[in-house]
């Protein structure tokens, strides 16, 4: 070690706060180099993600294929519910595509009693028939799809992976590698938000609120009446009383507060609906 370096080391040892500050700056700079900064659509929040669009699509597509294989017997491919889900998803996807032109959007309806839906990174959507009695109308369904699709366009899973230092594992899986332990894999799948509530880890409150906000603007841009979103969340509040909440109702301060927040975004949503 040179004298200058020794001097610097002694200086830092004597001043631990400065050393910690320097380390924080170095980590921050590294974070900027190895992840990319992106802005979420609609809310324009700066976030750090380590996965590219392509890697997110690979990750999502693999998990989607696995779900469809496992639940093959539950896939609904005709009838009025099927037609409704395809019809509404097409309109929401057209709006989401403006923010994520690379993603390949696709929706599958599964015959399951649970009131749930999710969208994997990269644009693959799964809707359970159990949500349809609560969504009731096209606008109600558009509220749910808008929310789920917003998690994908805002890259919430990639952001979570980055925060938990799992980006590299996700990249290995996306590339078809198996250099992960079963517990790492299980944790990753839980982070994807796949399947029922018990299997998936909830998004953070901030991400949930953000998905509500972006989703509301999406459904309005797609031409649906944003007031119907408020009506849907109120129905959801009644339907989920005393039950384990599904993904999109999870980890919220309270659903009543959520209704209030959504009402606050209505003027912006009305403008979005007029502008298309």
Would you tell me which residues interact with Zn ion (CB under 5 A)?
A: 208, 211, 248
Angle, CA of 150, 130 and 142, to the nearest 5°: 35
Please indicate whether residue 148 is annotated as part of the active site.
Answer: yes
Catalytic residue from among 47, 63, 93, 148: 148
> Which CA distances in Å does 128 have to 21, 74, 108, 263?
49, 9, 9, 27
- 153 neighbors 95 (Cβ within 8 angstroms): no
- Minimum Å gap between C-beta 148 and Zn ion is 7
Query: How many other CB atoms are there within 10 angstroms of residue 234's CB atom?
Result: 15
Nearer to Zn ion, 43 or 184 (CB): 43
- Minimum Å gap between C-beta 244 and Zn ion is 15
- Minimum Å gap between C-beta 141 and Zn ion is 15
Nearer to Zn ion, 172 or 249 (CB): 249
> Please, what is the end-to-end C-alpha distance for the chain in angstroms?
64
Nearer to Zn ion, 184 or 197 (CB): 197
Nearer to Zn ion, 55 or 209 (CB): 209
Nearer to Zn ion, 91 or 151 (CB): 151
Angle, CA of 276, 56 and 122, to the nearest 5°: 35
Nearer to Zn ion, 162 or 212 (CB): 212
Task: Output the residue with the shortest Cβ distance to Zn ion.
Answer: 248
- Minimum Å gap between C-beta 203 and Zn ion is 5
- Minimum Å gap between C-beta 49 and Zn ion is 17
- Minimum Å gap between C-beta 152 and Zn ion is 11
Q: List residues with catalytic annotation.
A: 148
């Amino acid at each position: 070690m040179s004298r200058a370096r020794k001097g610097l080391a002694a200086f830092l040892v004597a001043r631990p706060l400065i050393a910690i500050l320097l380390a924080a700056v170095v980590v921050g700079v590294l974070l900027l180099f190895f992840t990319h900064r992106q802005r979420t659509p609609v809310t324009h929040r700066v976030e750090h993600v380590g996965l590219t669009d392509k890697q997110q699509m690979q990750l999502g597509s693999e998990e989607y294929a696995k779900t469809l294989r496992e639940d093959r017997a539950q896939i609904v491919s005709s009838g009025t519910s099927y037609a409704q889900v395809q019809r509404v998803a097409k309109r929401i996807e057209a709006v989401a595509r403006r923010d994520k032109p690379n993603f390949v959007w696709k929706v599958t309806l599964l015959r399951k009693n649970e009131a749930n839906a999710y969208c994997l990174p990269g644009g693959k959507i799964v809707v359970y028939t159990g949500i349809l009695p609560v969504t009731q109308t096209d606008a109600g369904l558009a509220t749910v799809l808008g929310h789920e699709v917003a998690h994908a366009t805002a890259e919430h899973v990639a952001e979570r992976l980055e925060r938990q230092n799992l980006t590299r594992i996700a990249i290995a899986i996306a590339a078809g590698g198996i250099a992960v332990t079963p517990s790492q894999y299980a944790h990753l799948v839980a982070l994807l938000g796949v399947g029922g509530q018990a299997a998936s880890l909830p998004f953070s409150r901030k991400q949930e609120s953000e998905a509500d906000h972006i989703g509301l603007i999406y459904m309005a841009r797609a031409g649906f009446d944003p007031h119907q979103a408020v009506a849907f969340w109120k129905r959801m509040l009644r339907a989920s009383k005393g039950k384990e909440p599904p993904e999109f109702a999870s980890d919220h301060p309270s659903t009543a507060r959520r209704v209030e927040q959504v009402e606050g975004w209505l003027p912006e949503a009305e403008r979005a609906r007029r502008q298309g």
